Each structure stands twice: as C-alpha cells, then as structure tokens.
Structure 1
C-alpha cells in the first residue's frame, strides 16, 4: 500500500443523516475542523510522528533502543486504537516482530496487507465491560510476556478502552464478578481514579502488573490518552506504570458508594488489605528498572489539528481548554455563552472565530432515554442558541460536540452539530434533556454526526464557530 493510499484510508467520513440542504459556512468549518482533528489522532499518523526506525535503532519519543541487543520483539496490549497502532508497528518493523497479541473493540482483526503476516494477533474483547473472549485474549498476551527475558523487547500498546478490553481478573475473582463490579462502579458515578483503584487490585495486568510479569524484559509503553490530564497511570489503568493506590484504597471506594459487589471481590480485596496478597508494584519497584512509557497522542493532538484547519480557512482559533469536565449539559450552556460573548464583544476572540475545547464531560442519569455526554452537551447548547433573545439569533454560528472514537456513550452517533435553527421547540428539547433522551431529539432535527468507529480515542472534541 502506498503512502497516498494510507492517507486515503485514514480519511474520516462524517455523515449527517436527515440534515437538510448544504451546510452553512459555520457548519462547513466545524465539520472540516472535526475531520482534521480526528485524522490527526489516528494511529498511523501519531505512530509515524513519534516512532521511527533508523537501521537497527528504534526511536520512540526521545528514547532510543538498539534492536541488536534483543533476540525477541513482542507487541501486546489493547484499546480502541490498538488495532491501528499494531498495524503501524507491523508496517514499520516488519518481520522484526516475533509475536504479539492486542485486544481490540471492533474494526479489522487481521494485519494490514503489507504488514508481517500474522505477526500480531487481534482478538476482540468487550467494552465498556470485560468479556470472556477479552479475558482469554489477555491471558495469551500475559503468557507471551511471561516467557520474556533480558534480551526481549516488549512494545506495550495502551489506548483508550484498554481498561475493559485488556482484562485479566485474578482467578479468585473471575470475569463475571469483574464485569458486575465494573458496571456497579459506572452506575454509581465513581470517578476514573476511584474505578481504577478497584480495577487495578482485581487484575493481573493493570496497575503495573504487565510490566512486572514481563520483567526482566525491556518494556516500552506506547499510549494514546483518552483521559483528562494524560496521566499514564490512568490510561488503560496503567499496565506499565507504577501504582500508588492500595488494596485499602479499593475497599474504601466500595464502602464510599456502598456498593453491593460479588463476595469474591470483597474477599479478594480483604485479603489484600490484610497483606495476604501481593500489592500492585509501586514507585521504586525494580520491575520498572527497564520500563518507559510514552504518550504519543492526547486531546491536544486533535485540538491543535482542528485549530490549524480553522486557521487555514481564515478563522482565528482559540483553545478554551483541553480539560473540560463536569456535567455535559452545563458544558453546553457554557459553550453557548462563549459564542454569545464572541458575537457581541469580540472576547475572547474576534469573529470569524473558532473556539475549541477537549476533555470528558459526564451525564447524571435521571431518566430512561437514549443519549450520551456529547449529545446532551450539543442539545443543551442548541436550546441556548434557539433563544429568540440571544445575540446569536439569525447569525451564522455552530456548535459541535463529538467523542473522537465515533461512539458517544452507548449510541451509534459520534455527537451532534447544532445551530440557532436546530431546536424548533425549546420546551420539548428541555424535556428530552430531563429524560436523558437527547439522541431522538437531535436525530429528528437532522443534527446527528455519524462517523462509525474511527480507530482512535482522544476523548471529546468541541468547536464553537462564529461568523462575522
């Protein structure tokens, strides 16, 4: 496959089912920025930008590895971008890769045509909760690295979704109990640090345990971040990173939310709290003497590319924040307020302008409708845009909110694009928000954005576009 063909294959197609007519200038700009942002975060792009091979020297970020010092090179890991990263590594390293296993969500499950045939096996796991197939696949990856020695190089791929896809529950816990506990934590609204404290202590791969299993091999973590702050210990629950949480922390999380979890989980965490089970390896553990972890793409990767696309189209881009979090519908109102300020005062940037943000908003579920954080964010902004008293009334402006993996919550939509004309009935839209039912409301308005699985995940991308 030629480089031109690779670029074509990396294109992001955005469908707007039910949208009427040609897009306005603001809508067209928002869509162009979205396509540029997601494309920039695709594995082929970020691996090419961060990882190179010069003779026998493999460079990952600012680190170099002399491949003549290794007898074996393995690729293991998982996540929504793991398939693409594995393909890019196969393309780069060819038959230098001796074996590998990555756990994937969906998409191609075979190496690329020009890759080393069969070098890295793709196995489908489960997301957002683990499955038996994912656990079996992760066990194969652990079996592979367990045989590694000091002349083995392990490339550990960790991307968004790896916490569920790359799963190896302790035998005393089992996959059913792990799945039930993960679901309970998600329903309770526990934050990612709390969820990880529990998951790391139920796992044989998370919280640095993958690196410990591979020791004394040289382990190179290759991460694509889907978490606010880009902490490698949080991405995919940190399989190659020292863990600072403890069994006691995990027990405290379950107690804090008064969760009714399987007896096997409580028993296992209790044994750990009493010192009867080994802790996850922490800072200073010799297991990490030959381990480095490199974050090769983050929310800023998509945001910066989208900003560049806006600039190329003659707009003044401004990055609001890559760390937006909190209630999704409230974030939508805030972004609408920013659009109003741009339109009326030229602050924080003069129109024509594009204001960008990233991060991860959440939804407090009180209703029984269908939606996701970006859909709620967009619908809430649309309600504000449609206020006849708004300075945006009759103006060409747009707001876009998507999840860069192409799946917002449990829906098939990536997100939505709204303008002052999107919401015809503000009361009905508010009722849809109250019932957490943003998807049908936005579908009826022709505001949904559908990309399918993009093959990457650097969290949410939001764009406010205001014309002159």
Structure 2
C-alpha cells in the first residue's frame, strides 16, 4: 500500500537530522583524558591518584552517552551506573557498569531500584572525587526515590492523572520534583563534597536545566508557582492522593548549596535537530527555512496551524517561489478524551491532514526524535493533501479518529506512520511542511 508520496524523502531527512544529535558522538567529542587531567569541553579537572571518577548516565539517551564517555575514560572510571529505558536496552557491553533499565513514562519498581543505585554510587565521596553525570530526557521517570510520606504508588497515580490532563513537562516535573528524594538537586547534594559535572541532552524547550530529568544535579527553579491552584484549575487536584497534596502544599525544602556543581553543558537540543533537518533538505536540493524550535500547545491545534501556514505559502506566493521546506521543532501535548491509539505527533499529523483537504502538493510531517510517540508505536507520521481521501476510501472517518484520540490507528491504514524504533537520542520533536 503506497503511503504519502514524499514519505521516503522525509524519512531520509529525519535520519540525517538524528545523526547530528547522536549522543555517543556528542559525549565523546566533549571529553579528553590526558594523564591526570580530565578535559570537559575545554575545562580541566585534576584527578589525583586516589581520586575516584564516578559515571552516572540517566535517560533515554543513557546507553549512547555512557558508551561515548567510556570510550574516552575507560578503566579510569571507578563507579558506573547506567539507567536507560527498559524497552531500549541493547545487547552491548558496559564493563564495570551497573545497568538498571527503568520504566517510562510511568515509574515502577525498576525506577526506584535505579534511583537508589544512583544515590548509593555517590555516597562517601571526597572533594578530590569527580562525578560525571550524563542526563537526557526521560530521566524523571526512569530513576526515582519517593520522598516520604509519598509512595511509588502515589507518584504513579499522580503522573498518570497529569499526563491524561495534558500537563506539559514544566508542570509535570515541577510536581514530580516535590515528591522525590532524587530530583531538584538532591543527587548533587548527596554527592557533596565531590565535584559534579553535567553533560546534558535536552528534551525541554529552552533548555531549563532544572526541568530536564527534573534536575537531579542542578539548583531547582520555581518555574511553576502555586501548584495547588494550577492543579485545581486543571481539575485534577481533588483526584490526587492525600500524601501528594500534603507535600505540594508544604513549603518546598531544597538543597541550599551547589558549590560542588562546577559545570553543566547542553550538548544537543531541539534547535540542533531543526538546523540539521534544514541542512539535510538543502543538501538534497530543496530550499528550506527554519520557523523556530520552541513550539508547544495542543497537538491538534498546532496541526491545523501548521497546515494553514503551508497552505498560505502555497496559495499566496505560487508560482513566484520554488518548492520549499518549512522546518520547526517543539513538543506538543494531547488532552486525552478518547480511548484510541496515538501520540502527540500522530495527532498533530492527522489534524494537519484534515486541514490540508482542498489544497494540493503539500506534505506535513511530525516526528519524535526518540522514536517513541506516546501509544502510537511509531515516531510520528507523514501526511499530504490526499491522506484523508485515502482514509475515507478505507472506511475511516478522520474526524472521528481525532475525536477518539485514535490517530495512529487511522494513519497506519494510510501507510503514513514513520516507524524507527527507539533512536537512542531525545531532543523533542521535528515538524516539516514541504510546499511544492
């Protein structure tokens, strides 16, 4: 069954863009060990003969980041804990490392085991020791230690309710930080007085360090204030467990000293992904422009906007402009109302397909850089101006599919899904509009 005509082209561009934000290469390029000096992005750290070097990698890109660090540091690493997503575990060796796959997006007992292992790895260190922390998106769920009186069950229930209500990552991690003995700088506090250096692959727009993986080794920021009021406005406050509400109304206690956190470097982010995709289009002879890398909002609303933008370019400027690609990045949310199968990217794409009806020669793509778009089983989808006609020919009502949050099921019938498997990186989502 043929899918959208330009789907192979989009998949090529996507693969090339992903290679530009490869976690293993990014970390390897950032580290250099020369004698007793570890260079991190040009900053030297002396390692004495008795200095311990602790390597911690947490997040969806943990495997690649850890591989990059071990390629540079090898046997010099004294302790190593790697916490990837369980479904992404690969048959690769990490000598001397404890690999503990966690759960995502909802933490489970494996996540708690991983969180406790991270805290154990930084116990008993001295000012001569160095903790190299490799953080990437997904770390908030993959590693967790509940803060008393909250339990793992409380955190699971809270996370599920917030996700279903369409909470963005800023709100979600502001809540999770209050429920955790690991997040909000508490891992850095546990490592003190050892030196802490962070290398980060950002999955949060704007790269706020305190939000990425809920900031276990950076100072917390009060980005979302008055959490009870915000959650009441969303209609979920009364549904949260009592122990959770007690922690959210209490004054927040956070570590007061971070003088042992010496460096935090963002290696790649959504902007890097967008730049790489733009260049990939140009190398293939398609002029391309960037349109920002911080788009947020409801997926179906953004899909309509993105399609309208593409239609405007075509209808108002043709035939005076050549074919062009519009490239952007961001991370959308879905307010779940139905019981269908989908994710933010497939929902965006299906909404765009509906909005493209009546136009011609426009292709839209919405793709998750980690290859994991919610419950869709895909990275996202590519649609064009005939996608909805294809769906109706197959007995599928695209508007009903949107209403039921069943975008992935519908788009699979049009061979519009892009299935990559887990990519090993995580820097938000890529949006393309190709106007011919």
Q: TM-score, length-normalised on structure 1?
A: 0.85
Question: What is residue 20 of structure 2 aligned with on the other side?
Answer: 40
Partner secondary structure for residue 358 of structure 1? strand
Contact 1:50 1:61 in 2 (8 A): yes
Partner secondary structure for residue 71 of structure 1? coil
Question: What is residue 435 of structure 1 aligned with on the other side?
Answer: 404
Contact 1:216 1:290 in 2 (8 A): no
Q: Structure 1 residue 291 and structure 2 residue 262: aligned? A: yes
Contact 2:298 2:332 in 1 (8 A): yes
Distance 2:308 2:322 in 1: 15
Question: What is residue 449 of structure 1 aligned with on the other side?
Answer: 418
Distance 1:322 1:290 in 2: 28
Distance 2:56 2:169 in 1: 23
Distance 1:153 1:66 in 2: 9
Contact 1:316 1:350 in 2 (8 A): no
Residue 54 of structure 1: CA displacement?
4.4
Residue 178 of structure 1: CA displacement?
1.5
CA RMSD of aligned residues (A): 2.4
Contact 2:299 2:348 in 1 (8 A): yes
Residue by residue, what CA displacement relative to the aligned partner does 1:205-236 show, whole Å, maximum 9, x if unpaired?
A: 11111111111111011111111111111101
Aligned length: 428
| Matched ranges for 1:205-220 at <5 A | 205-220=182-197
Tell me which moved more, 64-73 or 146-155: 64-73
Decide whether aligned partners of structure 1 residues 71 and 36 sit closer, same or farther in structure 2, where only a CA change above 3 A counts.
same
Contact 1:247 1:269 in 2 (8 A): no
Q: Structure 1 residue 161 and structure 2 residue 138: aligned? A: yes
Contact 2:165 2:336 in 1 (8 A): no
Contact 1:76 1:100 in 2 (8 A): yes
Distance 2:263 2:105 in 1: 27
Which segments of structure 1 move beyond 6 Å, counting only runs of 4 or more?
none
Distance 1:153 1:214 in 2: 9
Partner secondary structure for residue 455 of structure 1? coil
| Matched ranges for 1:204-353 at <5 A | 204-245=181-222, 249-256=226-233, 257=235, 258-269=237-248, 272-273=250-251, 279-281=253-255, 285-346=256-317, 350-353=321-324
Distance 2:159 2:62 in 1: 22
Contact 1:363 1:373 in 2 (8 A): yes
Distance 2:62 2:137 in 1: 9
Question: What is residue 79 of structure 2 aligned with on the other side?
Answer: 99
Decide whether aligned partners of structure 1 residues 261 and 93 sit closer, same or farther in structure 2, where only a CA change above 3 A counts.
same
Runs of at least 5 residues in structure 2 that lack an aligned partner in the other structure: none
Partner secondary structure for residue 259 of structure 1? helix
Decide whether aligned partners of structure 1 residues 248 and 412 sit closer, same or farther in structure 2, where only a CA change above 3 A counts.
closer
Q: Structure 1 residue 408 and structure 2 residue 387: aligned? A: no
Tell me which moved more, 257-266 or 354-363: 257-266
Residue 55 of structure 1: CA displacement?
4.7
Contact 1:184 1:259 in 2 (8 A): no
Q: Structure 1 residue 60 and structure 2 residue 60: aligned? A: no
Residue 245 of structure 1: CA displacement?
3.0
